[in-house]
Amino acid sequence: MYRMMMSHVSEIVDKALGLLAYDAQQPLIFSSGLFLFLFAGFLLFYTLLRRDTSARIVYVILFSLYFYYKSSGIYFLLLVFAATSDYWISQALYRTQRPWARRLWVTLSVAVNLGMLGYFKYTNFLIELSNQLFGAGFLQFQNIFLPVGISFFVFQSLSYTIDIYRRQLTPLDRWTDYLFYLSFFPQLVAGPIVRAKDFIPQIRRPLHVSRRMFGTGVFLILTGLFKKAIISDYISLNFVDRVFDEPLLYSGFECLAGIYGYALQIYCDFSGYSDMAIGIALLLGFHFPKNFDSPYKAATITEFWHRWHISLSTWLRDYLYIPLGGNRKGRVRTYINLLLTMLLGGLWHGAAVRFVLWGALHGVALALHKLWLRFVPHAKATGAQMSWGWRIVGILFTFHLVCLGWLMFRAESMQTVSLMLHQIFHNFNWAVAPQVIEGYLGVFLLMGVGYVLHLLPESADRMAQRIVEASPLVVQVLMAAVMIWCVMQIKSSDIQPFIYFQF
């Protein structure tokens, strides 16, 4: 009996230690059962600390650092370093009155943040380019681990110091408050990119979660789970990945369907994460900005970027495009600024030529759209005022332009891009369509459901949200249980990380 008890105790201790250990193959993500279990326990103690703001802040910081440790291991210290560095730089920047000294401090912040990002994300990319220019073996590739979400918290930290430099924000008095802002776990690893001026005023407000906030949070979490764990993961594992891995094994019809599938996959994956992040933040009493607004309803490329990854597009606008001169220095300079902004936006997504080409495609498209607006006086910048006929044409054109970009974004190499385009234009083979749809019936049904839900009017989304908000707590819990059961029925054996974890 004693041995059995000790065996059970040892097993419990091993499992507890497993929860504390970092496992690169098992990151802690919102759609995992482990996170949902831990978050339920976290929320219980969080509510108990609702009257003690300082203790609550420290508690959230500790959980956030644990959450990031489970994603990136010892590199959670990099996050602490970034918070410490910009906290002290911001203090010096605020106290300094001399313009040259202020420029020096903000330059130091930019250098530290972009230096970290450059080393971890672009070192091997630059080595590869050097080897292509000067011969193989000119430089040796480095074994560098890319910390999850480094691009997100670097951009957040930069917004803080730059806004202080612009005198749009005063620095925080407490280092813990700044660490709380930078490490807040709902948006830590994949956004949205929350501006300091929007988030900081909420840190020390009395904790208040209204019934509406709670209901909206539950709705967004359930929506995000459905998008990520049911639609995105299923069509990715069962169709999209197969097509992109071996495009010559598939007809042009299947390759085109694979591109349409990836367009839905990346939207459901990323917007699903954003929905869950915004929903979790609401349950904790914090408001995040909207990050997606049905982007495939866009009738122009300009409107697409008003709807897709809104926190990134507005960040690039405010901290890159406008400082470059925006549209204030003539038409040609405006086009160049757009192209440069999107090229750098492409590089932000990844250190590869295909991401640069993806950014270039969108930059050229945005510039051409601006040029179109100049020569066609009655054209609309966003497509919102178009007649229904022209709007449908615009939506179809914009969607396929975006899909061309997604092809470059997803393909492992430009050779894969070339092969898939060859299959589409030279080996389409309509005759196999019924057989393919029958063979991948579950995939095509989920793709149809995903696109139909995406294209529904906003009123339908608001009505569904109001139904969840107005439901009793017991019904909301039941909805969550049903959603989790559905996820368990179709999930794969391995955890599927969010696509934007790599950025």
pLDDT (tens digit, 9 = 90+) per residue, 247-285? 999 999 999 999 999 999 999 999 999 999 999 999 999
Please report whether residue 23 resides in a domain. Answer: no
What are the tokens at 256?
């085109």
DSSP per residue, 484-500: HHHHHHH--SS----GG
Q: What b/e string do you get for 342-360 counting C-beta neighbours within 10 Å, with b at 16 or more?
A: bbbbbbbbbbbbbbbbbbb
pLDDT (tens digit, 9 = 90+) per residue, 188-198? 877 788 999 89
Residue predicted with more confidence, 91 or 486:
91
Contacts 24+ apart (CB under 8 A), 421-427: 423/247, 423/248, 423/250, 423/251, 423/252, 423/254, 423/255, 424/252, 424/255, 424/256, 425/252, 426/252, 427/251, 427/252
- The single residue of 309, 349, 362, 369 carrying the catalytic annotation is 349
Of the three residues 163, 179, 202, the one that is the final residue of a domain is 202
pLDDT at 395 over 70: yes
> Do 374 and 444 sit in the same domain of this protein?
yes
Range of the domain at 252: 211-495
How open is the CA angle 403-401-323, to the nearest 5 degrees? Answer: 105
> Do 174 and 268 sit in the same domain of this protein?
no
Please report whether residue 334 resides in a domain. Answer: yes
The pLDDT confidence band at residue 147, using thresholds 50, 70 and 90, is confident
> Do 306 and 405 sit in the same domain of this protein?
yes
> Do 113 and 153 sit in the same domain of this protein?
yes
> Do 295 and 441 sit in the same domain of this protein?
yes
Please report whether residue 21 resides in a domain. Answer: no
Task: Give the span between the Cα atoms of 84 and 86, in whole angstroms.
Answer: 6
Of the three residues 177, 202, 227, the one that is the final residue of a domain is 202
- Per-residue pLDDT, 3: 59
Please report whether residue 12 resides in a domain. Answer: no
Please report whether residue 422 resides in a domain. Answer: yes
> Do 217 and 168 sit in the same domain of this protein?
no
pLDDT at 15 over 60: no
The pLDDT confidence band at residue 109, using thresholds 50, 70 and 90, is very high
Closest CA to 71 of 183, 154, 177: 183
Residue predicted with more confidence, 228 or 382:
228
* CB contact set of 490 (below 8 Å; sequence gap of 6+): 229, 230, 233, 234
Task: Give the span between the Cα atoms of 6 and 462, in whole angstroms.
Answer: 54
> Do 138 and 245 sit in the same domain of this protein?
no
Of the three residues 167, 202, 237, the one that is the final residue of a domain is 202
What are the tokens at 422?
């060859």
3-state helix vs strand vs coil in the chain, percent to 5: 75, 0, 25
pLDDT at 359 over 80: yes
The pLDDT confidence band at residue 79, using thresholds 50, 70 and 90, is very high
- Per-residue pLDDT, 326: 81
* CB contact set of 402 (below 8 Å; sequence gap of 6+): 263, 295, 296, 301, 304
- Can you give the pTM of this predicted structure? 0.89
> Do 312 and 336 sit in the same domain of this protein?
yes
Please report whether residue 285 resides in a domain. Answer: yes
Range picked from 101-115, 339-353, 480-494 for highest mean pLDDT: 101-115
**Contact in structure between 367 and 333 (CB atoms under 8 Å):** no
- Per-residue pLDDT, 492: 60
Q: What is the total count of domains within the chain? A: 2
> Do 117 and 264 sit in the same domain of this protein?
no
pLDDT (tens digit, 9 = 90+) per residue, 404-421? 999 999 998 889 999 999
- Per-residue pLDDT, 378: 64
**Contact in structure between 160 and 246 (CB atoms under 8 Å):** no
- Per-residue pLDDT, 330: 81
- Specify the amino acid at residue 51: R
- Per-residue pLDDT, 40: 85
Query: Worst-scoring range by mean pLDDT, 106-115, 160-169, 465-474?
Result: 465-474
Residue 349 known to be catalytic = yes
How open is the CA angle 22-27-30, to the nearest 5 degrees? Answer: 135
> Do 230 and 328 sit in the same domain of this protein?
yes
- Residue with tokens 């002290």, as numbered in its chain: 88
Task: Give the span between the Cα atoms of 144 and 334, in whole angstroms.
Answer: 37
Query: Worst-scoring range by mean pLDDT, 2-16, 297-311, 324-338?
Result: 2-16
The pLDDT confidence band at residue 97, using thresholds 50, 70 and 90, is confident
Task: Say what angle helices 458-470 and 211-225 make with each other, to 10 degrees.
Answer: 120
Closest CA to 407 of 207, 230, 202, 256: 256
- Per-residue pLDDT, 140: 76
> Do 192 and 225 sit in the same domain of this protein?
no
How high is the mean pLDDT of the chain? 86
Return the HEC string of 78-100. Answer: HHHHHHHHHHHHHHHHHHCCCHH
Q: What is each CA distance from 470 to 211, 279, 456, in whole angstroms?
A: 9, 16, 21
CA 243 to chain CA mean position, Å: 24
> Do 95 and 230 sit in the same domain of this protein?
no
- Per-residue pLDDT, 480: 80
Please report whether residue 111 resides in a domain. Answer: yes
pLDDT (tens digit, 9 = 90+) per residue, 39-64? 888 988 998 888 889 999 999 999 99
Please report whether residue 11 resides in a domain. Answer: no
